[in-house]
Amino acid sequence: MTPRNTRQTGAVAALAAAALTLTACGGTPAASSGTPAADGKLAVVASTNVWADVARAVGGDAVSVKAVVGATGDPHSYESTAVDAATVRGAALVVFNGGHYDDFMPQIIKNETGKPVVEAMKVAGQDEHAKPETAEAGHEHANEHLWYDLDVVEDVAKAIAAKLGELKADAKDRFTANAQAFTAKIDALEQKVDAIKAAHTGVKVTATEPIAHYLLDEAGLADVTPAQFSKAVEEENDPPAVAIAEIQKLVTERTARVLVYNPQTESPVTKQVKENAVKANVAVVELTETLPEGKDYTQWMGEQIDKLAAALKK
Residues near Zn ion (CB under 5 A): 211
Q: What residues form DSSP beta bridges with 93?
A: 44
How far apart CA 216 and CA 285 sit, in angstroms, is 12
The residue (of 48 and 183) whose beta carbon lies closer to Zn ion is: 48
Sort 133 into a burial class: Cβ within 10 Å, 0-12 / 13-18 / 19+. Answer: exposed
Residue 272, Cα to own-chain centre: how many angstroms? 27
The residue (of 164 and 232) whose beta carbon lies closer to Zn ion is: 232
In sequence order, the 6+-apart residues with CB closer than 8 A to the CB of 182 are 54, 57, 58, 154, 157, 298
Among the listed residues 32, 40, 34, the one whose alpha carbon sits nearest the alpha carbon of residue 8: 40
Whole-number minimum distance, CB 281 to Zn ion, in Å?
A: 27
The residue (of 43 and 211) whose beta carbon lies closer to Zn ion is: 211
The residue (of 148 and 175) whose beta carbon lies closer to Zn ion is: 148
Q: Tell me which DSSP letter residue 265 carries.
A: G
Backbone φ and ψ of 261, nearest 5°: -125, 125
Whole-number minimum distance, CB 265 to Zn ion, in Å?
A: 6
Sort 111 into a burial class: Cβ within 10 Å, 0-12 / 13-18 / 19+. Answer: exposed
Whole-number minimum distance, CB 154 to Zn ion, in Å?
A: 21
Backbone φ and ψ of 247, nearest 5°: -70, -35
The residue (of 211 and 260) whose beta carbon lies closer to Zn ion is: 211
The residue (of 211 and 216) whose beta carbon lies closer to Zn ion is: 211
Whole-number minimum distance, CB 284 to Zn ion, in Å?
A: 17
Whole-number minimum distance, CB 50 to Zn ion, in Å?
A: 11
Whole-number minimum distance, CB 160 to Zn ion, in Å?
A: 22
